[in-house]
Structure 1
């Protein structure tokens, strides 16, 4: 929003308070920026020009109007922000009648403009940090290092601090629902600040459906921090999110590494946040990493064995594998999760082994079965 629009809003609001007595706000050249009399906007006001030049209030009495082209009777006062005159506010009326009102209006205008300027500064810093994050995670560091260091200095970000990427992905918005997703991002930011989950050594930005925090945190505090973030989103179930935590790094190249790790964890997570420092998560991450062009031809052969007459994976097959891996191959827990008798589960496991030729109790076969499960998951989600 431009300063002229802000000034006009202030004029409209203030005029309601002082019985619609006209108010003008003038710029540093003495031209009317906003007014209760629209036809006077962008016209010269000699009284305001004199205030700018002298730094003092100018009162215009009815008999003095001829000395002040473009002005009417009233009181004109300098608008001071941080010790500098940035404009003039004028209130129409006989000076003896409006002197006190004009002072109150001046104070209100200064306060409103101060708040606006603070808000603009905050938005500017946010934009700079967003640019910084984009360059750190998308641009080749070797080509952008000078620009990144310049941006970090202007945005007051010390890139030498050891940080990890915490990536929060909104899952319940499409690419078209940009306005709603930005509102959700704003609410996420507010919640994180209220719970002190973003501190002065952290910096964050929003890119597409990702809310990215580069977090300065000791490894010993990661579990507590992870639980706190999880609690926020469990408490507010309207946001469906996936959360990934990358490793902590101390150099410029580490920001991209940590971000990529966090995003990769999001791609394999279900509900709970996944942290690369967690042993179980590390195993999932490593298994996910081996699903490359090298392993795919082998997995495709297994995949072809399990397709039914409609060329689809039977639901029982996929659900059984999913539950088995979620419960660390514990048959009792898996049967309970699937709401089936243990004997039914044993029958299904034997059928899986018969179709694939892989034994669930053989570690190496188990790795292949997990890769098969991940391949099915990727295939079904269109990845």
Structure 2
């Protein structure tokens, strides 16, 4: 049952008085005036309103019956009903013969405004329930089945986690609220939760795919989300799509977080970042390493001390980008293949890790990524 507050009641008074030109009062079913065209009457007890609430019928007060209702002025008082419950009484001041014609209009206006308020409150309550449930799940906590039932959340339905943030941080204070309203109206299948002051989590339903087609699930989720955003919003946000991890919403969410952090750092001008674009870097970032990072960086100490270390690093990076193909690497650097091999041999001599052995190449790759990460942070 809706609880009538002063602000809502005053909006009813202001709206009605603009239309009919007579003073209006809004009373609780107990007869307390909580909003009025005459501010001095707020807080007074209105015996006529109590009579209306008890009987469920309108009451006209004039010279013939005014003495029955202490302190009540001439006018018409009507019950306001929402969901078959009388939630308020509205009084229109004036001689009943003159103001009776406005009674139905004021009654309908008040009931519509209260129904809208009730719907908003219901929407806010459901939003809080959804957020509480999702926040528990992404933090690895078990939730009762009743929570899932209340928000219509089927754990068997695969979902991909996406994070939306303002392109420019910090963004507007109401960024998340406005974005949630737009998405709620556009697509009911999206589950939404505010996970930070300017960060919105979206869990988008997807169709399962094989492990070799995980990119297609990302494309499904991005397409669903982007079709729900207006063109002007597209230009003002950054979206990060995480990895689908079966049975783990926490993993899906954390992969999206790591994707956003990596994407903003590595490609600051891009508006969409996907885990599948650079999974090794994002995986390493999500580990938040400590001693592991120190151990990875140890072979680079000698390399950093060399006068030509930047030349070696650029060559090694180009070798990574060329997927270990010396010929392609040489073409990109405009060098002879032997020159590339000579430099890579120099890297091996300085670090003890050979770019021509896959496990050691992976070590070098992670070391440079980790070094780059620690430098930029």
TM-score by length of 2: 0.78
SS in 2 for 1:116: helix
From 302, 315, 332, the counterpart of 2:299: 302
SS in 2 for 1:246: coil
Partners of 1:234 and 1:304 in 2: how far apart? Answer: 48
From 240, 243, 261, the counterpart of 1:242: 240
Partners of 1:138 and 1:47 in 2: how far apart? Answer: 55
Moved more, 61-70 or 184-193: 184-193
Distance change >3 Å, CA 61–CA 172, structure 1 → 2: same
SS in 2 for 1:71: coil
Partners of 2:130 and 2:58 in 1: how far apart? Answer: 41
Deviation at 1:130, TM superposition (A): 1.3
Deviations 1:84-127 (A, max 9, x none): 11111111111111112121011111101110110011011111
Q: Are 1:78 and 2:72 matched, yes or no?
A: no
SS in 2 for 1:33: strand
From 337, 360, 363, the counterpart of 1:365: 360
Deviation at 1:133, TM superposition (A): 1.9
Partners of 1:4 and 1:346 in 2: how far apart? Answer: 82
Contact 1:169 1:243 in 2 (8 A): no
Partner of 1:205: 193
Partner of 2:174: 183
Contact 1:245 1:273 in 2 (8 A): no
Partners of 2:39 and 2:199 in 1: how far apart? Answer: 44
Partner of 1:3: 5
SS in 1 for 2:65: helix
Please give the residue correspondences for 1:146-225 in structure 2 after superposition, counting only pairs within 5 Å. 148-153=144-149, 155-170=150-165, 172=167, 177=170, 180-193=171-184, 196=187, 198-199=188-189, 202-208=190-196, 209-220=198-209, 222=217, 223-225=219-221
Contact 1:78 1:88 in 2 (8 A): yes
Deviation at 1:226, TM superposition (A): 2.5
Partner of 1:273: 273
Deviations 1:25-72 (A, max 9, x none): 111101111111111111111111111011000011134322212311
Q: Are 1:92 and 2:78 matched, yes or no?
A: no
Contact 2:315 2:344 in 1 (8 A): no
Contact 1:165 1:212 in 2 (8 A): no
From 242, 252, 256, the counterpart of 1:258: 252
Contact 1:24 1:35 in 2 (8 A): yes
Partners of 1:210 and 1:218 in 2: how far apart? Answer: 25
Partners of 1:204 and 1:97 in 2: how far apart? Answer: 51
Partners of 1:227 and 1:320 in 2: how far apart? Answer: 38
Contact 2:27 2:35 in 1 (8 A): yes
Partners of 2:337 and 2:173 in 1: how far apart? Answer: 45
Contact 1:288 1:374 in 2 (8 A): no
Contact 1:4 1:34 in 2 (8 A): yes
Deviation at 1:167, TM superposition (A): 2.9
Deviation at 1:244, TM superposition (A): 1.9
Distance change >3 Å, CA 150–CA 18, structure 1 → 2: same
Partners of 1:113 and 1:152 in 2: how far apart? Answer: 29
Partners of 1:185 and 1:375 in 2: how far apart? Answer: 32
Deviation at 1:282, TM superposition (A): 5.1
Contact 1:246 1:262 in 2 (8 A): no
Deviations 1:303-356 (A, max 9, x none): 32343699xx95x776776666566467898899xxx75339996886465245
The number of residue pairs the alignment matches comes to 355
TM-score by length of 1: 0.77
Partner of 2:42: 41
Q: Which runs of 5+ in 2 are unaligned?
A: 210-215
From 312, 317, 334, the counterpart of 1:342: 334
Distance change >3 Å, CA 39–CA 192, structure 1 → 2: closer
SS in 1 for 2:298: helix
SS in 2 for 1:240: strand
Deviation at 1:5, TM superposition (A): 0.9
Distance change >3 Å, CA 166–CA 352, structure 1 → 2: same
SS in 2 for 1:56: coil
